[in-house]
Amino acid sequence: MTVSYLKMEGIAKFFPGVQALKDVTFEAAKGEILGLIGANGAGKSTLMNILGGNLQPNAGRILIDGKEVCIDSPTAAANHGIAFVHQEMAMLPTMSITDTMYISSYPYKRGLIDYKKIHQNCRSVLKRLGCNFDPREKIRNISPGDQQMVEIGRALLHNPQIIIFDEPTSSLTLREKDHLFDVIRSLKNEGAVIIYISHFLDEVFNLCDRVMVLRNGETVGGGQLSDYTYNDIVKMMIGSKEIDTYYSRSEHSTGEEIMRVEGLSRTGIIHDISFSLNKGEVLGIWGQLGSGRTEVARALVGLDPIDSGMIFINIDGSMTPVKQSETKKYIGMITENRRKEGLLLPMSVKNNMSLANLPKLTKKSIPFVIDPKLENSQVEKFVSRMEIKISSPSQRVETLSGGNQQKVIIGRWLQKNPLIYIMDEPTRGLDVGAKADIRRIISELAEQGAGILVISSEIEEIMSISDRYIVMKRGGIVNEFGGKVTREELVAAATGALTEKE
Ligand SMILES: Nc1ncnc2c1ncn2[C@@H]1O[C@H](COP(=O)(O)OP(=O)(O)OP(=O)(O)O)[C@@H](O)[C@H]1O
Ligand SMILES: [Mg+2]
């Protein structure tokens, strides 16, 4: 057995109403990639936040190279060679890339920040990550994938010995992902300890040497990955709960038209988007990251302006033109970016879930006054339907695990029960069991007559739920397919290997 460099021993962490970690112990050696996996709320981010100095444990100790260390702040962690690539990036859009990367560690020269040096350092770290943009650029001018690379670059600036990646790939394109994996492998070869958290088990099998599985704050297993199958790992993560990983939608008929979009355009962003959606239909929007999928969704609910185009919605049996600012009455949108658009983080789970649904929660006798009994019973119903892990409905959303925050967003729109749903990466950050649940819920909504637009970067996911597809590239629709399309045809259409419909 290789000698361990990092050891976390007997770690416990309590939060009000929940014990997030119970007596967790693990070791990791230099030159090894350890996969840290577990269902939503299992305690992965909490454990790594303790190692990264963001949280203090209630019990336990940390040893590096055989010596016990005190990690009471992120700066202390950095001084011990620990770097953390966070699950949710919190970046200021108006800040430059350099400032974002250096915010806690500006090098000074004669009392002044040595900008020449830090631009150079940023450029060389970003180059290693395969990014060619200028570090003086503002964060808001680069794509979410590039922002993720900046977050990774920030972690690599000071030659860390222990690097934690908390779900780093969710906003990366395939090419960026491959590049990141090469970088992680080269860090491993240089002798770093890598801890890798992901809900994509194929990534874990592809990249990691060993795994450790957490369930409800406890270690339930682990070891060399070569000793396990995919199913062994899933069983360890979720216990005996049955899941339907290979769920696929049965053929069914769809009803009359529920929404029609004609010539939706915004200069330089999307052009001439036209399609139609029926009642009971799941329409998949497939395309590469940056192809304009999210921009179409945002335009449909009025989050971004349009220059031209019409949106028709079937209101009481007739297709009616609806102003962009009014479509929100009929469309529920589950966004890909829960921090910016989805949730009010300092507010409670209950408030966040009721928010989309206030008129339906008021007392019949007194308008505008929320009926607390009704509100509580609705919230309880959805918390249990979605299996959201909370200590009480008044728990603040910012203290939920990443995956459970996503479930709150979905629960909120289920309560509102709109005619049309737009789901942009609905299962991002969810564990395998929760992903299967969401697929089943989408199917049920369609059977009840809703029209559903789904955007997903996971081809298996989009193929297991969609009845029909539109494929986007460079802001336009380049192809449409029925339910019988193959995986190869979809991929080829999005990358341009098929003839474009022009
Ligand atoms: N500041 C906090 N206050 C209260 N509870 C918290 C706080 N931070 C985390 N928790 C709780 O601790 C538990 C573990 O959360 P954690 O974020 O570690 O899960 P995770 O394994 O990273 O899940 P995911 O895969 O969804 O990201 C959850 O029940 C969460 O609600
Ligand atoms: Mg997490």
In this structure, the number of other CB atoms found within 10 A of the CB of residue 111 comes to: 5
Question: Which of 238, 268, 298 is the C-terminal boundary of a domain?
Answer: 238
In a domain, 469, yes or no: yes
Q: Give the whole-angstrom CA distance, residue 27 versus residue 6.
A: 6
Going by the DSSP 8-state scheme, the letter that residue 50 receives in this structure is H
In a domain, 493, yes or no: yes
Burial per residue of 226-240, b for 16 or more beta-carbon CB atoms within 10 angstroms, e otherwise = eebeeeebbbbbbee
In a domain, 125, yes or no: yes
Question: Which of 400, 417, 434 is the C-terminal boundary of a domain?
Answer: 417
Q: Give the whole-angstrom CA distance, residue 104 versus residue 172.
A: 25
Question: Which of 417, 451, 474 is the C-terminal boundary of a domain?
Answer: 417
Task: Using alpha carbons, select from 457, 360, 468, 452 the residue that is nearest to residue 410.
Answer: 452
- Burial (Cβ within 10 Å: 0-12, 13-18, ≥19) of residue 198: buried
Mean pLDDT of the chain: 87
Q: Give the whole-angstrom CA distance, residue 142 versus residue 205.
A: 31
3-class DSSP assignment, residue 195: strand
Same domain assignment for residues 471 and 481: yes
pLDDT of residue 295: 92
What are the helix (H) ranges across 141-228?
A: 144-156, 174-189, 201-207
Task: Using alpha carbons, select from 405, 437, 409, 403 the residue that is nearest to residue 44.
Answer: 403
pTM for this prediction: 0.83
Same domain assignment for residues 325 and 197: no
Residue carrying the six token digits 């790594």 = 48
Same domain assignment for residues 147 and 157: yes
Query: Could you identify the atom of ligand 1 that is nearest to the CA of residue 401?
Result: 17
Q: For residue 197, how far is its CA from the centre of ligand 2 (angstroms)?
A: 8
Domain span at 354 = 347-417
Low-confidence ranges of the chain (pLDDT < 50): 499-502
User: Length of the chain in residues, anyone?
Assistant: 502
Same domain assignment for residues 422 and 398: no
Q: Count of domains in the chain?
A: 3
Sign of torsion, CA 143 471 474 312?
A: negative
Cβ–ligand 1 distance for 324 under 6 Å, the answer no
Q: For residue 166, how far is its CA from the centre of ligand 2 (angstroms)?
A: 7
Q: Spell out where 198-287 has E strands.
A: 210-215, 218-224, 257-266, 270-278, 282-287
Q: Give the whole-angstrom CA distance, residue 137 versus residue 114.
A: 17
Cβ–ligand 1 distance for 170 under 6 Å, the answer no
What are the helix (H) ranges across 339-458?
A: 349-354, 372-385, 402-416, 432-447
Residue type, 129: L
Q: Give the whole-angstrom CA distance, residue 224 versus residue 243.
A: 25
Q: Give the whole-angstrom CA distance, residue 295 versus residue 311.
A: 15
Same domain assignment for residues 55 and 182: yes
In a domain, 118, yes or no: yes
Task: Using alpha carbons, select from 46, 40, 37, 39 the residue that is nearest to residue 15.
Answer: 46
Nearest-ligand number for the alpha carbon of 431: 1
pLDDT of residue 337: 67
Residue carrying the six token digits 């459970």 = 404
Q: What is the pLDDT of residues 103-113, one digit of tens each?
A: 766 666 666 66
In a domain, 292, yes or no: yes
In a domain, 340, yes or no: no
Q: For residue 42, how far is its CA from the centre of ligand 2 (angstroms)?
A: 8
Nearest-ligand number for the alpha carbon of 429: 1
Same domain assignment for residues 407 and 276: no
Query: Could you identify the atom of ligand 1 that is nearest to the CA of residue 400?
Result: 31
In a domain, 406, yes or no: yes
Same domain assignment for residues 174 and 150: yes
Q: Give the whole-angstrom CA distance, residue 405 versus residue 398.
A: 8
Q: Report the percent of the chain where pLDDT is more than 90.
A: 43
Q: Give the whole-angstrom CA distance, residue 83 versus residue 382.
A: 37
Q: Whose CA is nearest to atom 24 of ligand 1?
A: 40
Probe target for ligand 1 pocket from 167, 345, 400, with the most ligand atoms within 8 Å of CB: 400
Probe target for ligand 1 pocket from 21, 37, 45, with the most ligand atoms within 8 Å of CB: 45
Radius of gyration of the chain from its Cα atoms, rounded to whole angstroms: 24
Contacts of 124 (CB under 8 A, 6+ apart): none
Sign of torsion, CA 94 100 106 110?
A: negative
- Please report, for the domain that includes residue 447, its CATH number: 3.40.50.300
Same domain assignment for residues 413 and 426: no
Task: Using alpha carbons, select from 335, 343, 489 the residue that is nearest to residue 425.
Answer: 335
Residue type, 326: E
Q: What is the pLDDT of residues 275-304, one digit of tens each?
A: 999 999 999 999 887 789 989 999 999 989
pLDDT of residue 331: 94
Cβ–ligand 1 distance for 200 under 6 Å, the answer no
Cβ–ligand 1 distance for 342 under 6 Å, the answer no
In a domain, 288, yes or no: yes
In this structure, the number of other CB atoms found within 10 A of the CB of residue 483 comes to: 13
Cβ–ligand 1 distance for 406 under 6 Å, the answer no
Q: What is the pLDDT of residues 400-431, one digit of tens each?
A: 888 888 888 888 888 888 999 999 988 888 88
pLDDT of residue 230: 87
Q: For residue 484, how far is its CA from the centre of ligand 2 (angstroms)?
A: 36
Same domain assignment for residues 351 and 467: no
- Burial (Cβ within 10 Å: 0-12, 13-18, ≥19) of residue 114: middle
Q: Give the whole-angstrom CA distance, residue 198 versus residue 397.
A: 21
pLDDT of residue 340: 64
276 forms beta bridges with 260
How far, CA to CA in Å, does 78 sit from each of 120, 278, 313, 364, 395? 21, 54, 54, 57, 31
Same domain assignment for residues 440 and 375: no
pLDDT of residue 499: 47
Same domain assignment for residues 469 and 411: no
Same domain assignment for residues 58 and 191: yes
**CA 230 distance to own-chain centroid:** 22
Helix (H) / strand (E) element for 479: namely strand 476-481
